[in-house]
Amino acid sequence: MRVLFVTHSVDKFFYAGVASLSAFLKREGHETALINYDQKYDFERFRREVRASNAQMVGLSSLTYQWPIIEKLADIVKEELGKDMPTIAGGFHVSFSPDEVISSPSIDFACKGEGEFALMDLIRAMESGGDVHNIPNIWSKERKADGSIRVHRNEIRNLDRDLDSYPYWDRKLVDFGALLDGSGTTTYQHKSHVMPVAAGRGCPYRCAYCGNQSLLNLYKGHGTLVRRRSVEGMIAELKMCIDEYEVRSFEFWDEDFFAYQRQWLRDFFKRYKEEINLPFLLSVRADNCTDENLDLASAAGCHLLCMGIECGDEEFRRRYLNRNMSNEKIHRAFKRCRELGIERAALNIIGFPYETPSLSRKTLALNREIDPDYFHFYIYQAFPGCDLFEVCKKEGFLPDIYYAVYQIPESAIIQPSLTIPEIKELWTEFEAFRDEVDRKREVRHAARLAPVAT
């Protein structure tokens, strides 16, 4: 079967979920293609490319803020390829709002949860003339002879633990070599030739502003959400990437790399240093930055750690964000990284429900104390699947629209404790600190590159 994937992007051009789906389908002998509806597109260009795709099924991936565009693109698919062209939607928004998605007239199937095996089962059933309405993870529409529609809401399947049996992400779905040549087109690091990879899947934490809590609930009784590949399997993929692409560093997209089992970390970092020996970035929680974990990562070549601070007030983090992490542990992690020569990126959010200007300035104050090498801040947006979304919904804080970017004050929720004018004032203060951090980092980098006098 020829499957056309459709994504929507404002800044990034590689989606691991779609790349994994494509790899599974290609291994089964199917053909895949991708249209990434980015800033270069308009609806007419999309229409032309859909008509030329020769697709037999169209899969659309969506986050919540992308859904209005994705739904319109699904309408265009039906207009151009006919109402009988099967469409399936997946992604976080579908997992957390499946009823909304399956009720869309142009969506025939909705995938709730992980989609690789579900999509393959669906395609097999379609090709063999089998039952397409009783596939785990798939919600489907059955159109009755009287014109009515029955929605089949199927149960979640058990999670597969053997990630080594999964094919590598399909990087050939896009011109990945060209993306690597660019700066920041695939990864957090705004440098060229940074290769994204992942050693596992899942996160064990239930932060109130994140949809991971809903995934943990969704898969309760269906297996362990946090899974990792073998060290051997991970090293093999890294070597393949180096052989096929010009890779200068790796960026691991794992939710918290230090959440993996201790012996696995020891074995992996040892093999990485011996057989790969390229700089790499990790995302971790500060409270998992033990001396051993940091020493292992540093010795293996870790040059940057990304850590979420989110809010500078311990009590607010514990009470509203479900992040039981002390400022002392954050201080300690950032200090130890500096001693080891690992750069530190601090990630922060402005505009949580019940936040006040004084709480926001506590976040800024904590960041001044830990002195990060990179300082990032974003506006909180309430998305389905998160506990704080329900808080915002109950309190009437939800805005009329979701924004595609988190870097504008206007995208904040509407609440009396922190108004949009106050957020704009805070935004200016946070920007000034970010500029200060950037200048200090540039000075350090210049000093590091300066020739040594003899």
Packed helices 327-340 and 357-370: angle between N→C axes, nearest 10 degrees: 30
Give, for all 454 residues of the chain, the pLDDT tens digit: 999 999 998 766 789 999 999 999 999 999 999 999 998 899 999 999 999 999 999 999 999 989 999 999 999 999 999 999 999 999 999 999 999 999 999 999 999 999 999 999 999 999 999 999 999 999 999 988 888 999 999 999 999 999 999 999 999 999 888 888 887 667 777 678 999 999 999 999 999 999 999 999 999 999 999 999 999 999 999 999 999 999 999 999 999 999 999 999 999 999 999 999 999 999 999 999 999 999 999 999 999 999 999 999 999 999 999 999 999 999 999 999 999 999 999 999 999 999 999 999 999 999 999 999 999 999 999 999 999 999 999 999 999 887 777 778 888 999 999 999 999 999 999 999 999 999 999 998 888 777 755 5
First and final C-alpha spacing in the chain: 66
Relative to beta strand 200-201, strand 31-37 is unpaired
Cβ atoms 136, 155 nearer than 8 A:
yes
Q: Mind giving me the DSSP string for 132-197? A: SSS-TTEEEEEE-TTS-EEEEEPPPPPPP--GGGSPPP-GGGTTHHHHHHSSSSSSSS-SSSEEEE
Cβ atoms 161, 168 nearer than 8 A:
no
Tell which residue, 354, 356, 357, has the closest CA to residue 394: 354
Cβ atoms 236, 271 nearer than 8 A:
no
CA 92 from centre of chain = 9
Domain regions of the chain by residue span: 2-153, 175-449
Beta bridge partners of 330: none
Per-residue pLDDT, 181: 87
Give the dihedral of Cα atoms 99, 100, 101, 103; nearest 10 deg.
Answer: 80
Distance CA 118, CA 157 (A): 8
Amino acid identity of residue 105, one-letter, is P
Whole-prediction pTM: 0.94
Cβ atoms 352, 379 nearer than 8 A:
no
| 424 φ, ψ (degrees, to nearest 5) | -65, -40
Please name the residues in contact with 286: beta carbons below 8 A apart, sequence gap of 6 or more. 307, 308, 309, 325, 329, 330, 332, 333, 334
Q: Does domain 175-449 have CATH number 3.80.30.20?
A: yes
| 20 φ, ψ (degrees, to nearest 5) | -70, -45
* 2-153 to CATH, choices 3.90.1170.50, 2.40.50.100, 3.40.50.280, 3.40.640.10: 3.40.50.280
Q: What is the CA radius of gyration of the chain?
A: 23
Sheet holding 374-379, edge to edge: 194-197, 249-252, 280-284, 302-310, 343-350, 374-379
Q: Among all chains, which residue has been given the structure tokens 């560093």?
A: 249
Distance CA 330, CA 312 (A): 10
